Amino acid sequence: MRVQGEQVATGRGPGWELGEFLRSRRARLRPEDAGLPAYGGRRRVPGLRREELAQLAGVSAGYYTRLEQGQSPGASDAVLDAVARALRLDEAERAHLYSLARPRPAARRRPARPERVRPGVRVMIESFGDVPALVMGRFLDVLAWNPMAHALLAGHLDFGAPDRPDDRPNIARMMFLDPHTRELYADWPRKARSTVADLRLIAGRWPGDPGLTGLVGELTLRSPEFARLWAAHTVGDCGTAARVYRHPLVGTMELAAEFMALTEDEGQRVAVFNPEPGSPSESALRLLAGLTATSRPPATGRPPR
């Protein structure tokens, strides 16, 4: 059940989020890592001081301080690139920095209607047959899945749930609040970190969206593990690394997920799960297909009425 009316903001605005992100990245760097003298003794703050980071980025300490305080909305590409290099940001973190420094206009942040899956996309994931495939919305809602993705990830849930906007499964909510999902992943802590890092990246692209704010608020209140991971400000996409699943029907199998962005549907992604050809995992996935074949709904290319 979703928590109604319980919202914890993802931040106090883009400027505040930018400052929190910069401070979290600055805290993980030591002076010696950046080639700066440590001078010994106990430091008042973890990681680099603002003045040290400003020196590495080639900007004044005052300017960097204003940037961390969200008071420099017009930061140039050169400045952001210099800060990113000084902080040793990876590609995902660099993209997140730009999203926070240059938030999208408010008019584009609030979709007027629930997300929908285009019929052609639905036909595409149905055409994968015995290969699990699903469509995720911009905030990790499951908008559609084929029968194999349902059997792999959430056979205990109603297959038609994604077609009901008020009752859609959400990957992040399942990860932290659904015990079946927790048991499914052999390395649940790693998958949980990856999910939160992906949600952080999304939050930078859609700052202040009430749907995202509500999701983060609910998970923060109901899951101490999520709250701890969210506070760490780790940023990253889902990645394509293979994960080990402990399926209740067919046992252990290792599947790699590939993600494809739907460019005509902003924020939507298709996820496809594949085993190594000829592996025991492929045999396990084939067994799962056989065990669930008789209970599969017909492929129609459109949501049920």
44, 87, 92, 121, 139 from 198: Cα distances, Å:
31, 20, 9, 23, 10
Q: What pLDDT band is residue 228 in, cutting at 50, 70 and 90?
A: very high
Is 279 a residue whose pLDDT tops 90? yes
Which pLDDT score is estimated for 10? Answer: 45
d(CA 267, CA 203): 11
* Beta strands per DSSP E along the chain: 133-136, 142-145, 243-247, 251-261, 269-274
Tokens coding 235:
């940023």
Least confident of 126-130, 193-197, 231-235, 300-304: 300-304
Which pLDDT score is estimated for 116? Answer: 93
Could you give the residue ranges of the DSSP H alpha helices within 88-187? 91-101, 119-126, 147-154, 171-177, 179-184
pLDDT digits (tens, 9 = 90+) for 30-63: 777 767 766 555 666 678 888 888 888 888 888 8
Within 10 angstroms of residue 107's Cβ, the number of other Cβ atoms is: 6
Which pLDDT score is estimated for 261? Answer: 93
**216 and 195 Cβ atoms separated by less than 8 Å:** no
Nearest to 263 by CA among 118, 123, 127, 98: 118
Least confident of 39-48, 243-252, 261-270: 39-48
H or E, element range at 304: none
Is 134 a residue whose pLDDT tops 90? yes
Which residues are paired to 254 by β-bridges?
A: 244
**Helix and strand totals (H; E) in the chain:** 13, 5
Compute the average pLDDT of residues 128-149: 96
Least confident of 35-44, 54-63, 224-233, 270-279: 35-44
Which residues are paired to 255 by β-bridges?
A: 243
Rg (CA), the chain: 22
Which pLDDT score is estimated for 101? Answer: 84
Compute the average pLDDT of residues 12-40: 75
Instruction: Report the mean per-residue pLDDT for the chain.
Output: 85
d(CA 120, CA 302): 9
Tokens coding 43:
């430091």
Q: What pLDDT band is residue 209 in, cutting at 50, 70 and 90?
A: confident
Q: Which domains does the chain have, with CATH numbers?
A: 14-103 (1.10.260.40), 119-295 (3.30.450.180)
Position with higher pLDDT, 209 vs 43 = 209
Which pLDDT score is estimated for 175? Answer: 97
* pTM as predicted: 0.80
Is 137 a residue whose pLDDT tops 90? yes
DSSP annotation of 162 reads: G
Which pLDDT score is estimated for 41? Answer: 56
Is 90 a residue whose pLDDT tops 90? no
Position with higher pLDDT, 108 vs 5 = 108
d(CA 150, CA 293): 12
Give residue for tokens 């401070």: 23
**144 and 136 Cβ atoms separated by less than 8 Å:** no
Which pLDDT score is estimated for 172? Answer: 97
Q: What pLDDT band is residue 117 in, cutting at 50, 70 and 90?
A: very high
Which pLDDT score is estimated for 238? Answer: 72
Angular region, 40: left φ>0, alpha ψ -120 to 50, beta rest: left
Is 213 a residue whose pLDDT tops 50? yes
